[in-house]
């Protein structure tokens, strides 16, 4: 449980309800992920790509309004 009074468990003997350890895990989502001594992810090795947003405009978007398109071409009869 997380709270202001939470303490970090550094020794597995502090955990009372653990029956059998599966593997040792260490790391941080900012740095690396290591399980049983094998590094699965490391920020210095696995450099993430810069986020590239994908533009997927819906047909109902305001940019496709015919009245605005004709207004842009200065054709007031149809706009």
| Pick from 53, 54, 51, 26: nearest CA to 40 | 26
pTM score, two decimals? Answer: 0.41
Contact predicate 9/16, CB 8 Å: no
- pLDDT, tens only, 16-47: 787 888 888 999 888 899 999 999 999 888 88
Domain boundaries, the chain: 22-72
- pLDDT, tens only, 39-73: 999 988 888 777 777 788 888 888 888 888 888 89
Whole-angstrom CA distances from 6 to 9, 10, 21 are 9, 13, 22
- pLDDT, tens only, 2-13: 677 777 777 777
pLDDT at 32: 92
The two tokens of residue 42 are: 């490391």
């Amino acid at each position: 449980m997380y709270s202001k009074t939470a303490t970090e468990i550094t020794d597995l003997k502090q955990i009372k309800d653990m029956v059998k350890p599966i593997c040792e895990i260490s790391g941080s989502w900012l740095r690396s992920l290591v399980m049983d001594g094998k590094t699965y992810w490391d920020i210095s090795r696995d450099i993430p790509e810069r986020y590239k947003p994908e533009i997927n405009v819906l047909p109902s978007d305001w940019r496709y309004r015919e009245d605005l398109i004709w207004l842009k071409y200065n054709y007031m009869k149809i706009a």
